[in-house]
Structure 1
Amino acid sequence: MATSVASFIDRRIDPGALPLAVGDVVALSAILTVGVVNHNGVDYLTAFPVAWLLTLVPFLIGWAVAGPLIGAYSAGAAESAKAAIPLAVRGWVLAAVIGLGLRWTPLFAGGVVLVFALVTLVTGAVALGVWRWVYFKIAG
């Protein structure tokens, strides 16, 4: 069993995709932070840093699960924008569902409403897609 798990992880996570992983976390954190600022103002980030981070955590947990599961860091994803962007968008759909599910529990404040879910889904997908497109334009 350990061999099959290791084999699965080896197919899903390629070391060449590390720049994508770092950029994905930055892009998602940035877009989620923009949402926090839009709702609470810039001062909220310094006045309530734990609350701000707890807004990001459910979605970053979702991404940590969904990204590798979907193959967002596979060897193919590290080769071209044509492969990387659809994998990221598909991964984000699952990650957003996980993040929203976590926000629905008492573990994280904020709850879930339909408009928030849709905005999170769309903005996260756009952020990941734009980031990965820019990455491949620069990296070649």
Structure 2
Amino acid sequence: MAAQSFLEQRLDASTWPIAVGDLVVLLAFLLVGTAQHRPTLSPVDVLMTEPLAFVNAAAPFIIGWLIAAPLIGAYSPGGGSAPNSSIPLAIRSWIPAAVIGLAIRATPFIEGGVELAFAAVIIVGGAVVLAVWRFIYFKLR
């Protein structure tokens, strides 16, 4: 039997519903956050009238998630099988993902900057939405 690669050990195909849900809730969280900075626009209005502003805001954190989640094991065998393992893995994955996203935002290539309050909201808010989503997923499953 051949040894599994590092990523094969970290990615379980049966976790795809969780992965899709993670991306959806993170995008929704980031969309609501983007709309909060445009008080005259709803989240739908942001998507319709300022889609590049949303992409600019969301991309660093989605990139961070796509890097950190597989490395930390958010979709590993067992990581998607029960809330007592899945939820902590999501939170442990989000923290470095958010740090990566914040580091990307700190570059001159991305608008927005990195304020301490913003960093706290991103880290805590992202962890909460991922935990709630995964909790609901396992309750409905």
The answer for unaligned runs of 5 or more in structure 2 is none
What TM-score, normalized to structure 1?
A: 0.93
Aligned residues: 136
Q: Deviations over 1:14-50 (max 9, x none)?
A: 0011011100000100111111111112233322111
- CA distance, structure 2, for counterparts of residue 14 and residue 34 of structure 1: 30
Q: Equivalent residue for 1:25?
A: 23
The answer for unaligned runs of 5 or more in structure 1 is none
Q: Equivalent residue for 1:35?
A: 33
Match of 2:117 among 115, 128, 132: 115
Work out whether residues 37 and 45 of structure 1, in 8 Å CA contact, stay in contact via their aligned partners in 2: no
- The structural deviation recorded for 1:108 is 1.2
Q: Any idea what SS the aligned residue of 1:76 has?
A: coil
**Hey, which bits of structure 1, 4+ residues long, moved more than 6 A?**
none
- The structural deviation recorded for 1:51 is 1.5
Q: Equivalent residue for 1:53?
A: 55
Q: Deviations over 1:96-132 (max 9, x none)?
A: 0000000000221101000000001011000000000
What TM-score, normalized to structure 2?
A: 0.92
Give the aligned CA root-mean-square deviation in angstroms: 1.3
* Structure number having the greater helix percentage: 1
